[in-house]
Structure 1
Amino acid sequence: MPARPDYAAFIAGHAEVIERINSGEAGLPILGVVLRLAQSALGAAGMTFAEFGPSGGRIVAATGAAEWALGRPVDKGSPTTKRLLTGLRTQVISLNRIEGQFPEQATGHGLHTMLVTRAILGDIVVGSLQALYREVEDLPTIEHHTLIEFVATNLAHMYGHQVGLPVHGDGPVVAALADGLAIIDYDRKVRLWNPAAEEVTGLSTADVLNATLPFPIPVLGQTLDHRLADGRWLKITASELTGTVDSIVVTFRDISDQHRRDGDRDLFVALTSHELRTPVTVIKGYADTLNSHWDELPEYERRHATDVIGQRAGELAKLVDRLLSAADQSGPTTGSPPTPFDLVEALRVAERDLPTALRRRLLVRLPVDLPKAIGDRSTITTILTELVTNADKYSGDGTVIELTAHSDERTVVFRVSDRGIGVRPEHVERAFDRFWQAESGDRRRFPGAGLGLYLVRRVIERQNGWVSLRPRDGGGTVAEVRLPRG
């Protein structure tokens, strides 16, 4: 049995967390600190926190012996997850007695027991917190139950205060937290104005009570997007208040981010048009030159022109393929079924297919005895190209990009590491969103349409693997891909 929790150390560490939040820190960095603090206090070998969204979950923070799980998707429809979400709030589970890939991978890392609890805000499950133990004897006591529930409650409060969480920035949690509510009469006079309404609009109850609702309302039962004077957008709904004859319930929430994403899509179209136009212009220029001056050009210039046309046509084909894949949000239905393959050999072939400039920057250190991975070998070239291209884009000239690989008991891993500007902790998950860019508008320093990492994640997860980003010690970024071990 693990030792009693070290309450004194936990309270001191928790006080430090609060001070860091008050000083402006938020999001994943604080979440990581909380998990490391909880791991020590609970005597666990590792901790994970899975955040839940509309369609599924994802492990967005992991520490200790569970760090390998970072970025791993969580299927909300699996029997195990359903049990965790609907049974007792806090449970002790022997991992070797439940089905699924996560328990198999965890036991492969020497983990035996999981103490899990839900992080609940109101009636919304924002995520689940897991403490993992190695030995059969490490069965948590009631004190461990109480402490992990306390930690989960604090994490839920972080969501309530929206201090950089949720990581993904969308889903039912944000919608519920951001909903303002007003009750008005048929003269549109405000009779009730809840605290969330004050938060969303910046108007206090004293400002609006008995005054006319400060924005329009839609037809009952419908929705309306309305832009406030300060540029923010509200999504407004209205319905009759049950049991009354002269009252209307109006709910509203800030959807400015959604409208910004719509703007990002416009930017995506503009960027894509530019990226398509560049190779097309080059191809047309060289083709016109060959057509008009074939006899005047020396042989080496004709060969150079045809080489450029071929190279640019290849780039154009890849770009079109990415655009078509990204347009299909339901996910590709094609591709080979996962089978065992030699990952080292696949990576070396993929390396040879990289553009010359990227190959020169890449330092490859692959073991000779790596176990086989289970997946779609044909996708490795695409995955490696996207990850190395991304590393190249955010790294200074002359710096090295490293390709390494290793394995553990249940997965085969390869990493692309750079010494570039580094990924911000709050962006390590959003970077995989479709069309997402760390910068927008005139501030953008780096080209691209926000598709590469989105496509990489889709391709890898189709093979029962997962991918994650994290800041690199000493500066830079590490992209890590994990596939099941053969």
Structure 2
Amino acid sequence: MVDAPPAAVFAGLAGVAEALNAGEGGVTLLQQSVEVASAATGAIGAVFIEYAHDTGRVVAAAGKLEWALGRPVDLIHPSLRGLLQYGSRVREFPSSLIGTPGGVQLDSRGLHRVMTAEVNAAGASVGILAVSYPDADGSAEPEQRSALSFLASFIALQYGLGRGLPVYRDGPAVDPINGPFALLDPGHRVIAWNPAAARLTARPPETALGKPWPFPLPDADETVEHQMACGTWIEIRAQPVPGSTDLAVSFRARPEEPPDGRDLFIALTGHELRTPITVIRGYADTLVDHWESLDEGARREAIFVVGQRARDLSRLVDRLLNAIGDVDLSTLLPFDLIESLTTAVDELNPVQRRLLKVDLPATLPKTYGDRASLATVLAELVTNAGKYSPNWVEVELTAGADPQSVWFRVSDRGIGIRPEHVERAFERFWQLETGDQRKSGGVGLGLYLVRRIVERQHGWVSLRPRRGGGTVAEVRLPRADAEGHGEA
């Protein structure tokens, strides 16, 4: 572990500060701050996890943690809550203590120790700044801990200014450190009960500590719902504390169902369905009414259009079903990504097949997921790349693997994506809400569906600007031979 020269760290800070003074902000400066955090703490990787509605997500990543960009993080997992709950603002622990699959991901990549600092802006917790080290038994120097604390405050300043942050439009909502939490001894008696637990349950610490746990306890990695006497429903999760006989329990009020925009969804998709149906009906009527008067060429052309529009209609129906359906866990099986990608390329429309540059390795480790959905994911990413790449300049498909995941990328040299849009692009109907995008058509469901499909398979997807111009869309799925492949 080699610390960056102080001059380089201060130069990085100065660059971000100058940009802030010039009125800039958003993900670009957040990313630069994460890179400075990695250098200033002598770490080999760094991330910033922004709290979202019911989880967290990596919105900036640097160094050996770049692969985590876009990854959802289960911040309310009891074991992770236990690590973040107590102690100083800056916390340090071996990644093996993280009971979530994220800990496995870190360990398998040689990232054995983690140091975190919570970011608080205007009295609200907005996320976690985390850095990683290759040694499990080491300990950060006081200067490194101070540097991480300072960088967390520096990021908090950026959130306070509100220029393009928070990344998510509805703002951070999860607060894993200050949320309801309890520790139980082997007899399931309460030995720790934080203020949030007291507020939610109306049980002050003096009436809870030393008493039996008052609610149901789920099995590991399960969630149970329970209605308290006051009528409030709570969700409860429990997990053994690594290296201890205690049990960590996290719980919260059951979130309200977010509005699904059903009326808008029906209106938009109705419009999209009407177009191919109208064309199919028009050409079919022409063939029926004027078959004898049409020459062979006209008949073939009409039949070709009917077939093409029928395929478009089938794909649109598949998209709608994916938007509202749940994954069938029985379809999550090991499969050959290269073979599946090759088949999915063959199913693209003729223009896409002809212009897509495919550069795939001969073999890759098998991945774990739903093979049938891969064609939909690839088609959406290729279609999206083609929309914003005039004349399909350098739209490429590549793939690879690392110790925990198998990935593929669709890269283009199009108009690119602004950093503040790399997460908003995955929102439902986002395209319709952005005036300069509407000319490209569509209902704005493509990337929303991609993320929904991929994350139901315990993978994740991200967008980022491409060096030299354009955009890279990257999908990561679990390796079939990796530990914990069946969990997000």
TM-score range, shorter chain: 0.7 to 0.9
Aligned 8 A contact 2:116 2:128 in 1: yes
CA drift at 1:446: 1.4
Alignment map for 1:305-320 (pairs within 5 Å): 305-320=302-317
- SS for the counterpart of 1:81 is helix
Distance in 2 (CA, whole Å) between partners of 1:123 and 1:55 is 19
- What whole-Å deviation, never above 9, does each CA across 1:334-354 have from its counterpart, x for those lacking one? 364421110000000000000
Aligned 8 A contact 2:56 2:73 in 1: yes
Query: In the alignment, which residue of structure 1 is the partner of 2:71?
Result: 72
Distance in 2 (CA, whole Å) between partners of 1:3 and 1:312 is 59
Selected match of 1:457 from 448, 451, 455 = 451
Distance in 1 (CA, whole Å) between partners of 2:128 and 2:94 is 17
Query: In the alignment, which residue of structure 1 is the partner of 2:9?
Result: 10
- What whole-Å deviation, never above 9, does each CA across 1:166-217 have from its counterpart, x for those lacking one? 101213569xxxxxxxxxxxxxxxxxxxxxxxxxxxxxxxxxxxxxxxxxxx
| Paired letter, 1:68 | W
Provide closer, same or farther for how the CA distance between residues 172 and 368 of structure 1 changes in structure 2, counting only shifts above 3 A. Answer: closer
- What whole-Å deviation, never above 9, does each CA across 1:316-344 have from its counterpart, x for those lacking one? 12223323443x3xx52436442111000
Q: How many residues align?
A: 396
CA drift at 1:40: 1.0
Within the alignment, does 1:283 sit opposite 2:277 as a pair?
A: no
Within the alignment, does 1:160 sit opposite 2:160 as a pair?
A: yes
Within the alignment, does 1:391 sit opposite 2:388 as a pair?
A: no
Give the TM-score taking structure 1 as reference length: 0.76
| Paired letter, 2:131 | A
- SS for the counterpart of 1:58 is strand
Gaps of 5+ in 1: 175-257
- SS for the counterpart of 2:365 is coil
Provide closer, same or farther for how the CA distance between residues 434 and 292 of structure 1 changes in structure 2, counting only shifts above 3 A. Answer: same
Query: In the alignment, which residue of structure 2 is the partner of 1:301?
Result: 298
Give the TM-score taking structure 2 as reference length: 0.76
Aligned 8 A contact 1:431 1:438 in 2: no
Distance in 1 (CA, whole Å) between partners of 2:168 and 2:449 is 17
Provide closer, same or farther for how the CA distance between residues 36 and 348 of structure 1 changes in structure 2, counting only shifts above 3 A. Answer: same
| Paired letter, 1:429 | E
| Paired letter, 2:23 | G
Alignment map for 1:81-480 (pairs within 5 Å): 81-88=80-87, 89-136=89-136, 138-171=138-171, 272-326=269-323, 328=324, 332-334=326-328, 336-437=330-431, 440-441=434-435, 444-480=438-474
- SS for the counterpart of 2:363 is coil
Query: Identity over aligned residues, as a percent?
Result: 50
CA drift at 1:31: 0.6
Distance in 2 (CA, whole Å) between partners of 1:441 and 1:19 is 30
Within the alignment, does 1:50 sit opposite 2:44 as a pair?
A: no
| Paired letter, 1:321 | D
Q: CA RMSD in A?
A: 2.6
- SS for the counterpart of 2:408 is strand
| Paired letter, 2:102 | F
Provide closer, same or farther for how the CA distance between residues 62 and 265 of structure 1 changes in structure 2, counting only shifts above 3 A. Answer: farther
Query: In the alignment, which residue of structure 1 is the partner of 2:22?
Result: 23
CA drift at 1:296: 2.7
- What whole-Å deviation, never above 9, does each CA across 1:240-298 have from its counterpart, x for those lacking one? xxxxxxxxxxxxxxxxxx99x98x985x7665444323212211111111111122333
Please say which structure displays the higher CA radius of gyration: 1
Provide closer, same or farther for how the CA distance between residues 18 and 484 of structure 1 changes in structure 2, counting only shifts above 3 A. Answer: same
- SS for the counterpart of 1:295 is coil
| Paired letter, 1:52 | Y
Distance in 1 (CA, whole Å) between partners of 2:173 and 2:160 is 9
Aligned 8 A contact 2:344 2:378 in 1: yes
Q: Which moved more, 1:40-49 or 1:394-403?
A: 394-403
Distance in 2 (CA, whole Å) between partners of 1:86 and 1:137 is 21
| Paired letter, 1:286 | Y
Query: In the alignment, which residue of structure 2 is the partner of 1:243?
Result: none
- SS for the counterpart of 1:445 is helix
| Paired letter, 1:20 | A
Distance in 2 (CA, whole Å) between partners of 1:285 and 1:300 is 17
CA drift at 1:104: 1.4
Q: Which moved more, 1:109-118 or 1:293-302?
A: 293-302
CA drift at 1:85: 4.1
Provide closer, same or farther for how the CA distance between residues 31 and 382 of structure 1 changes in structure 2, counting only shifts above 3 A. Answer: same
- SS for the counterpart of 1:99 is coil
Q: Give the ranges of 4+ consecutive aligned residues of structure 1 lying more than 6 Å apart after TM superposition.
A: none
Provide closer, same or farther for how the CA distance between residues 465 and 320 of structure 1 changes in structure 2, counting only shifts above 3 A. Answer: same
- What whole-Å deviation, never above 9, does each CA across 1:30-75 have from its counterpart, x for those lacking one? 0111111111111110100100022111000000110000000011
Distance in 1 (CA, whole Å) between partners of 2:30 and 2:171 is 19
Provide closer, same or farther for how the CA distance between residues 80 and 60 of structure 1 changes in structure 2, counting only shifts above 3 A. Answer: farther
Distance in 2 (CA, whole Å) between partners of 1:369 and 1:277 is 42
CA drift at 1:466: 0.3
- What whole-Å deviation, never above 9, does each CA across 1:412-445 have from its counterpart, x for those lacking one? 0100001100011110001001111286358732
Provide closer, same or farther for how the CA distance between residues 3 and 334 of structure 1 changes in structure 2, counting only shifts above 3 A. Answer: closer
- SS for the counterpart of 2:431 is coil
